Structure 1
Amino acid sequence: MGNFEPINRIALELGPITIYWYGIIIGFGIFLGWLLATKEAKRRGLDQDVFSDLLLWAIPISLLSARLYYVLFNLDYYLDNPGQILAIWEGGIAIHGGLIGAVATSIVYARKKEISFWQLADIAAPSIILGQAIGRWGNFMNQEAHGTEVTRTFLEDLMLPDWIINQMYIDGAYYHPTFLYESLWNLSVFFVLLAIRKFGVKRGEVFLSYLIWYSVGRFFVEGLRTDSLMVTDELRIAQVISLALVGLSLFLIWYRRQKQSTNRFYKEGINDK
């Protein structure tokens, strides 16, 4: 056992400007997702600038909605500490809040541009989950979003490198690296989505599959965390929403297959027109 110095969460200081690893990692995830979505949009015959234009609106709105969601579920704290409401660099953005903002923005954008929302969502789904997988490492740098207390031996048995184990030593104890569990799960979902879209699933089902598989992993990982947003003392809001998203997505897949004649989507050699 030892008293380890955590990794410095500040990447760079330029006079009054402080750049945090959290922001760099989140930004890198967004950038990589944009590259992937732009390449796929071009391959599918869409304007290659469609996601550049969309992100100009979606990024600020999603960040705002992700932060607002987090603040609302921690309202007592932020009413007592209003100066912390805008301190996004300290962490505290909720992915479910971000998704609400992103989906709402995409629906409006798609209608304005006369593009199918489901087409945009299917193209974006692998990018979103990849960005989430990368973004969880921002939580690692901040030593947040961790799980319950464990022993160092437990972490060593997971075959983790020392630099991860030592970063999980917080205030005299070791904790579950739930950021890592979710990051690895999300990366697995990324590859699953790439495989799914090669099998001629119907339009919208890549995105709905993303909601299902991400939510399944999030449900179990959330059960280990100690900083969950709570509805009551026992009920975790992220688990409730995860279950709701799984149910809603399964219903939409069933309903759209039964009631709508949607085109096959993402089968190799077939254009999504």
Structure 2
Amino acid sequence: MFPYIFKIGVFELRVYSLMYLIGILMTLYFVKKKGQKLGFSKELIENLIIITFIGAIIGARIYYVVLKWDFYSRYPKEIIAIWHGGLAIHGGIIGGIIAAYLYCKKYGIRIFQYGDMVLPFLLISQGVGRFGNFANGEAHGVPTITPPSIIFKVKNVFPEFWSTVLKTFGLKNNPVEVSKLMDLIKEKGALTVQFQGKIYELKEYVPWGISFSPKYNPPAYQDFGTLPVHPTFFYEMILNFICGYFLVRLWKDDKNIGKGVISGLYLIFYGVIRGFVTCFRADDLMIGFLRAPHLASLIMIVIGSVLVYKGKNKGGIL
């Protein structure tokens, strides 16, 4: 929508980068305060958060490249072109955990003590970061004219469904042509399309869709022209803030730090949030015919449940 705040020559201050910075500074501020209260030096906490962030960026990129290997195997120079986009949150979580674990092991810190201190603010920071996705016009949802029964299928059939829609109405797969669909719907009230032996109706199912203009040629416009799409970045932002608030309430009590319960709840909360939002996403990574975030979220929920159980019933772990 507005990817940068200002631009001077080749330099531009991007909203997405600013959201990252806000998230890091917020996390540093609160975790340093808690860490010093629990006997950790502020330098140790600063280094740990920076190392975790670097590990998360590396992990997010590796995860994305592996699941998009068909593209990157043909264009290997693009593997390091992180400025062209291509970071996956689940890879970031894995990379951040690995980096934090290695650093904590080196300095004798209990990994779940660190996790319980930082993860409430990571969840809130993820919510802040989703505003950057909105500014970039990325991580967007499917058009709001998509029937719910297509959105909530376990198998991701949306690409095949969308191809059928365009073919049915004789539209080419480009922004200008796709944008005509809304005019057709307004003219006729609703459209119908046959897909996999069933008749589906195309109409505005929710009124809060967001339409992206061609001004900055964002991914959402490239995919669906000016059709209103589900604001998945806002769905996730709101849910992250709500769950983050609950985790911060637990974080305030020092007795909850180090048991692993907060860390487990983070995994459960974000697993559920991302699993839900993924149903609406138009650009998710795939593993075979399944959406990669659904598989990763399921693993997060299982691991998180184990951590919460052990933390609550066995006096903490590790």
- Common fold, TM-score beyond 0.5? yes
Let me know the Cα RMSD of the aligned residues. Answer: 2.5
Out of 235, 238, 245, the position equivalent to 2:293 is 238
Could you list the per-position Cα deviations for residues 69-121 of structure 1 after superposition, in whole angstroms to 9, with x for gaps in the alignment?
11111111222333433333343211111111111111111111111111111
Aligned to 1:104: 98
Bigger radius of gyration, 1 or 2? 2
Deviates more, 1:169-178 or 1:181-190: 169-178
Cα distance, 1:237–1:184 mapped onto 2, change above 3 Å: same
**1:73 equivalenced with 2:129 (yes/no):** no
SS class of match (1:12): strand
Contact (CA 8 Å) 1:90, 1:142: kept in 2 or not? no
Cα distance, 1:8–1:86 mapped onto 2, change above 3 Å: farther
Out of 210, 213, 221, the position equivalent to 2:266 is 210
SS class of match (1:60): helix
Q: How does 1:193-272 map to 2 (within 5 A)?
A: 193-197=247-251, 200-201=255-256, 203-233=259-289, 235-255=290-310, 260-262=314-316
Aligned to 2:81: 87
Q: Which AA in structure 1 matches 2:295?
A: V
Q: Which AA in structure 2 matches 1:248?
A: I
SS class of match (1:11): strand
After TM superposition, give the deviation of residue 166 of structure 1 in Å.
5.2
Deviates more, 1:46-55 or 1:240-249: 46-55
Q: Give the Cα separation in 1 of the matches to 2:263 and 2:279.
A: 24
Aligned to 1:185: 239
SS class of match (2:80): coil
Could you list the per-position Cα deviations for residues 1-43 of structure 1 after superposition, in whole angstroms to 9, with x for gaps in the alignment?
xxxxxx3313333434344222222222122122121122123
Q: Which AA in structure 1 matches 2:236?
A: E
Q: Which AA in structure 2 matches 1:75?
A: W
Q: Give the Cα separation in 2 of the matches to 1:85 and 1:154.
A: 38
Contact (CA 8 Å) 1:91, 1:142: kept in 2 or not? no
TM-score, length-scaled by structure 2: 0.71
Q: Extract unaligned runs of 5+ from structure 2.
A: 146-181, 183-203, 214-219
Deviates more, 1:38-47 or 1:124-133: 38-47
Could you list the per-position Cα deviations for residues 227-251 of structure 1 after superposition, in whole angstroms to 9, with x for gaps in the alignment?
1111112x11111111111112212
After TM superposition, give the deviation of residue 257 of structure 1 in Å.
5.0
Deviates more, 1:236-245 or 1:30-39: 30-39
Q: Give the Cα separation in 1 of the matches to 2:299 and 2:316.
A: 24
Cα distance, 1:14–1:56 mapped onto 2, change above 3 Å: same
Aligned to 1:269: none
Contact (CA 8 Å) 1:146, 1:178: kept in 2 or not? yes
Could you list the per-position Cα deviations for residues 48-71 of structure 1 after superposition, in whole angstroms to 9, with x for gaps in the alignment?
222211133222221111111111
SS class of match (1:29): helix
Q: Extract unaligned runs of 5+ from structure 1.
A: 1-6, 264-273
TM-score, length-scaled by structure 1: 0.82
SS class of match (2:140): coil
Could you list the per-position Cα deviations for residues 197-255 of structure 1 after superposition, in whole angstroms to 9, with x for gaps in the alignment?
4565461111111111111111110111011111112x111111111111122123334
Aligned to 1:270: none
After TM superposition, give the deviation of residue 188 of structure 1 in Å.
0.6
Out of 40, 43, 49, the position equivalent to 1:46 is 40
> How many residues of Structure 1 are paired with residues of Structure 2 in the alignment?
250
Out of 228, 239, 261, the position equivalent to 1:174 is 228
Aligned to 2:58: 64
Q: Give the Cα separation in 2 of the matches to 1:210 and 1:60.
A: 20
Q: Which AA in structure 1 matches 2:308?
A: I
SS class of match (1:244): helix
Q: Which AA in structure 2 matches 1:193?
A: L
SS class of match (1:144): coil
Out of 16, 22, 44, the position equivalent to 2:16 is 22
Q: Which AA in structure 1 matches 2:97?
A: V
Q: Give the Cα separation in 2 of the matches to 1:65 and 1:94.
A: 8
SS class of match (1:49): helix
- Report percent identity of matched pairs: 30
Cα distance, 1:9–1:83 mapped onto 2, change above 3 Å: farther
Aligned to 1:268: none
